[in-house]
Every structure is written in structure tokens, then in C-alpha cells.
Amino acid sequence: MKIKQTFSLFFLVLLYQQSLLAEHICHTKVDDLGKEIPMMMDMSNMDLKFNQIKQNLPNLSNLDNLQLQKIMKSMGPNYYWPINNGKSSKHGVLIMAHGYGSDGDLDLFNSLKNFNPNYEIILTMGMSMMTSKHVICSVQRLMNSGIESIYIVPISSTPYNTLVRQWRYIFNLEKNYSYADVDVLASNTFKYIEPISDDAIAKEIILEYANEISTNQENEVVIIIAHGPVSQADNVQELLIMNNIADYISNNSNFSEVRSFTLQDDAGKAIRDNNINNIRQYIKNSSMQGKRVLVVSNLMSGKGIQKNIEKDLNGLNYTFNSKGLLTHPKFKIWIEDSITK
């Protein structure tokens, strides 16, 4: 039986009351931009965590631990990035994001600089596959500032994926981890916000992105592409959400047709290849019918897997608006609306 190692609110209070222990737990390397990278990682159970990841992600199951270690390293560090925004010491917002490369992360940081000053904001970046130390340390930092409530905002297109479930596990909202077992936080200080999914603001943003590349809606079809989850069960749920977005776009435009597809980018190669073939066939058929093909997405960042999509669709006639949701001004409105409900 697996036993969660849970950090309670009481334990976190002890952490910042005992400065030596706090320094030991949350000693960080700070770069020129203010990103804080926890330095200490328990190396004693690395093999166990690698095996847990391979068990939970079948597409990695054939790798040895050295190969998996190289993949983890290539993904960059898990870190947190305080935004000096708030004037109040009562409310904090923890933005949980996958990480989008240095430029994409900076875009997210800059988009939140002028957020509601009643909230202190920290970006917590990374998939948390093998550690939650960056999350624990960011929570500790907020609590050291006297924060009374912390809103957890997952930056994800839907809740139906392994990444969101791993984050939920960290906050003791999920029974099982999605990747490897990590330390867990439990406190009534936390208020968890659900991902944006098919919220009205997501629909409005994606329609706007389609309109930006449109010239004659009656002769155009729109494809909405999503990253997609690993499991088929989650994929069914995500497509329901995406179809709601597609219906909204159809009902508020004159486009000939709007279709939704998922890549399932982290699923097995055969699954992903089949999804790509379906997208390519739809584009070919639409082009043969004389339709202009517009491609948009519900991806969070404009600097993620868009290059892969362009490679997947190489040789086809289409126009792609590669913008992501998170840097659109309305996305910040969604965050504020969600935490003030």
C-alpha cells in the first residue's frame, strides 16, 4: 500500500518558524529574471520514481532509467517565479503551468504583471513528474508573506489529462499520482480552480483567432486542434468539450463547418499517427471541395507543440493561427472571474 507523504498547514507553519529547516527544504538558485529553482532533490529513490513513471506512461515503458533521466533533464527544471504584483497580504494565486520554454514562460509572466493588486501571484512551472518541491516552496513563500487563502489555478485546456491529475494529487485532491509519487500538501487554505475547458471566454478567444485568419467564412472550414490526453477515456471527454467550443463558433459565425481533433501527443505512436492521418484526410477532402482550411487550437501557449503541428500537416493547404489562450487579455479576466466567484 502506498502512503502519501503529506505536508499539512501545521508543518508549513513550522517550516518558516524554523529558519534552518526552511533553508534546508527550500534552498533555491535564483536567476537574473527572479526564477527560483529548488536546489535539493532526494536522489535515493530515483529508480523507484523512474519505474513509477514507466508504469503510468506506457509510451515510455521501453526506456531504461538512463534514457528516461535524459528525457527528464531535457524538459528543464521545475521552478517557481514570483510576480511582484500584490498589495494585499491576504490572498495569493498559484498559477500551475506545464512550462513553455523560456520565451513562452516569459510571455505568461508578462501577461500577469498588471493583475488585480489584491492578489499576490506566483507562477509554478513544470510538470511535477518527480518532485513537488517547487510547489511546496512557492506555497511556503506565500505563507511567509501572511497570505490567508491561496487560489490554485491550473493552466490547462481541460481537467482530463495526467498533468492536471498530478497537480491535483499534490494538493491532496486526487487519490493516485499520474507520474511518480511526490510529497503532498493538505490545507483548507487552498481553493482549487477548475481548468478553463469550454468556458465562455475560451470560446470567445478561439473564435477571435479563427476570425483573424478568415477572409470569406462561407467558403472556409475551421479545425480546432488540441494537444489531447494519453488515455482514450480522457480523449472522449476532451472531445466533448472541444465540440462545445466548435458548436459555439458555428453558431456565432458563417463558417461552412467547424471540426475538432486531438493529437494525443503523449499517447502511443500508433494512436497519434492515426489522429494525424484523420486530420490530414479532413484537410485534403475540404481542399478538394474548394474550401479554404483554417486551423486554430485550444493550446495554452503559442510556443508549445505548434511546430510539430506544422510538421504533421506539411504539404497541405491550410492557414494556421498558432496563438495560445494564455496571453490573450481575456485569459487574465477568466482567472480573476474564477477566483472571485
Residues 193-239 have pLDDT tens digits of 999 999 999 999 999 999 999 999 999 999 999 999 999 999 999 99
Who wins on pLDDT, 43 or 152?
152
Q: Same structural domain for residues 212 and 178?
A: no
Nine-digit cell string for 257: 463547418
- Say whether both 224 and 294 belong to one domain: yes
Per the CB < 8 A criterion, the answer to whether 300 and 306 are in contact is no
Looking at the fold, whether 166 and 65 belong to one and the same domain comes out as: yes
Residue 174 lies in a domain: yes
The answer to whether residue 1 is domain-embedded is no
Q: How many CB atoms lie within 10 A of CB 83?
A: 20
Same domain, 173 and 246: no
Cα distances (Å, whole numbers) of residue 263 to 21, 27, 280: 45, 39, 12
pLDDT at residue 339 greater than cutoff 70? yes
Structure confidence by residue, pLDDT tens digits, 159-175: 999 999 999 999 999 99
Question: Is there a single domain that holds both residue 44 and residue 172?
Answer: yes
- Write down the pLDDT at residue 42: 61
| Same domain membership, residue 180 and residue 315 | no
Dihedral sign computed on CA atoms, order 18, 192, 126, 232? positive
pLDDT of residue 266: 86
What is the overall mean pLDDT for the chain?
90
Sheet holding 292-297, edge to edge: 257-262, 220-226, 292-297, 319-320
List of residues 6+ apart from 241 with CB closer than 8 A: 157, 158, 160, 197, 198
Residue 17 has pLDDT above 50, yes or no: no
User: Looking at the structure, do residues 158 and 226 belong to the same domain, yes or no?
Assistant: no
Average pLDDT over residues 170-181: 96
Domain residues for the domain of 120 are 6-196+329-340
Give the domain CATH number at 264. Answer: 3.40.50
Q: Domain check: are 126 and 164 in the same one? A: yes
> What are the tens digits of pLDDT across the range 19-68?
433 444 688 899 999 999 998 666 668 899 999 999 999 888 889 999 99
| 15/51 same-domain check | yes
Residues 102 and 134 in one domain: yes
Verify that 211 and 311 share a domain, yes or no.
yes
Read off the pLDDT band of 1 (50, 70, 90).
Answer: very low
The average pLDDT across 88-95 equals: 87
Residue 269 pLDDT greater than 80, yes or no: yes
User: Is 80 exceeded by the pLDDT of residue 14?
Assistant: no
Same domain, 187 and 220: no
- Maximum alpha-carbon separation in the chain: 70
* pTM for the model: 0.90
Q: What is the DSSP letter of 79?
A: E
Q: What's the pLDDT at 4?
A: 61
Answer yes or no: are the C-beta atoms of 293 and 220 closer than 8 Å. yes
Total domain count, the chain = 2
